[in-house]
Amino acid sequence: MDDTLFAARLETLCRKTLGGDGPLGNLKRLSGGASMQSWRFAWGNELLILRRMPEGLHGDDAAIDSGALSLDGQADVIECAGELGVMVPAVRARLTPEDGLGEGFVMACAPGEALPQVLLRDPAFIPALDRLPGQWAEQLAAIHAIAPARLPKSLTYRAPADMLADLEARWRDLGGTSPIYALAFGWLERALPAPVEPRLCHGDFRMGNLLITPDGLSAVLDWELAHLGDPVQDLAFGCIPSWRFGHYEKPLGGIARPEAMLEQYEAMTGVRVDPARFRFWLVYSCLWWGVCCLVMADIWRRGDQSGPERLVIGRRVSEVEIDLMLMLADELPSVAAPMVWPATKRLPEHGVPTGAALVDAVSLWLDAQVAASATGHRRFEARVAINALGMAARDAALGPVFQSAQAARLEQMGLDATSLMQAVRHDPAAMTPALHDHLRRLAAENCLIDQPRYAGLPVAQASWT
């Protein structure tokens, strides 16, 4: 629907559910949010947020996890958590089919900043980030203390073994072919922890889903992955490399080491966090995000082609390959020789322009003529498009070279793609130093095409070379 009709329907909803005469003002689509839409607006003097399913999608289509809650289910959990002491914005209204706005709900706009790129750069937030590990532990302890009997019946529980099996099945359905992912699935299967008494888990507790003011944490957002499960999953989730936002050396959200948070959580709950269980959920969560990247690409292919953001996220699977190889390196055979880092220097252009050169030209034009003058969400979209073009140009220039090198390495080991997948997934004894070296080279080659500025790459280069 166009912007005028959207605003008119939202105003009608506010009059009906919130009362008063408004007016409706300052309606703005917030940047990010690849799986859901978030809009900020004012109704009279009150600032509000609309969480809404993108047009043309159903809940199952937009969900990045097969166990994700509907928006109505999220509102139920937020209301329950708020009543029991968790810092959440109040739910103010729910959408109905008659509103003509799709599925969703309206909640209070809590104060604070959620974008990690701002929080980690602005000196005004330094005191708040220093206190955040303690508040992180406090909020997770409060979430995990909620008795399941108090929670909405829409929450589901799956044992770790079922979660792992579901994740691998979804990865295969999405066309997953990475031998590094197959290696991780095998490792996780052998490292499965014993089930524990299910508790409420937020499921997505990380930087980006926490609102922070200069005085500290103000709200916990985005409850679509809430479920009944192992509390240690929540503790590990916010520590995966993809949620460190460039500060790879600080696993807890790019702000700190996790030990202080875990110690405070243990003191608050009286429950010791088993390091092996934490490690399992850290590897699982890292792999889970990699599969979710493929889900995003699949959503685009199935019809939500409003922009390239989901396809760009789909190429982030290679970041996870780097992360997994770093995480699991201690349990793989040592590689004696230093790795020669893949060369990425492109040959000078001569004669007829190559495809890579054409893509570069469009990217430079878009940067200078569109992104430079755009604002708000439109600027964000232009930057995503530039990122997509950069991937395409590197793929055209470097992809054939890297693929030839990968095929030569496999031939030298007497393997093909199928036998490689089977070996790393099912037979730990098949892992040799040469195979370990191939996998880390593969991870580096893929990520240098997709995300050459990924913070894990210099860590890998220092470790492997």
pLDDT in tens, 171-200: 999 999 999 999 999 999 999 999 999 999
Residue 241 confidence (pLDDT): 96
Tell me the domains of the chain and their CATH numbers: 1-109 (3.30.200.20), 292-464 (no CATH)
Residue 187: name the closest of 424, 423, 441, 443 by CA: 424
Q: What is the DSSP string of 41-61?
A: EEETTEEEEEEEPPTT--HHH
Residue 340 confidence (pLDDT): 93
The C-alpha angle with vertex 16 and arms to 10 and 21, in degrees rounded to 5, equals 80
Q: pLDDT confidence of 1, banded at 50, 70, 90?
A: confident
| pLDDT tens-digit series, residues 97-137 | 999 998 899 999 999 999 999 999 999 999 999 999 999 99
| pLDDT tens-digit series, residues 218-245 | 999 999 999 999 999 999 999 999 999 9
Residue 179: name the closest of 420, 460, 452 by CA: 420
Residue 34 confidence (pLDDT): 52
Residue 69 confidence (pLDDT): 85
Q: What is the DSSP string of 392-441?
A: HHHHHHHHHHHHHHHHHHHHHHT--HHHHHHHHHH-GGG--HHHHHHHHH
Interatomic CA distance for residues 137 and 152, integer angstroms: 24
Contact between 224 and 153 (Cβ < 8 Å): no
Its pTM stands at: 0.92
Residue 456 confidence (pLDDT): 97
Interatomic CA distance for residues 237 and 281, integer angstroms: 7
Q: pLDDT confidence of 249, banded at 50, 70, 90?
A: very high
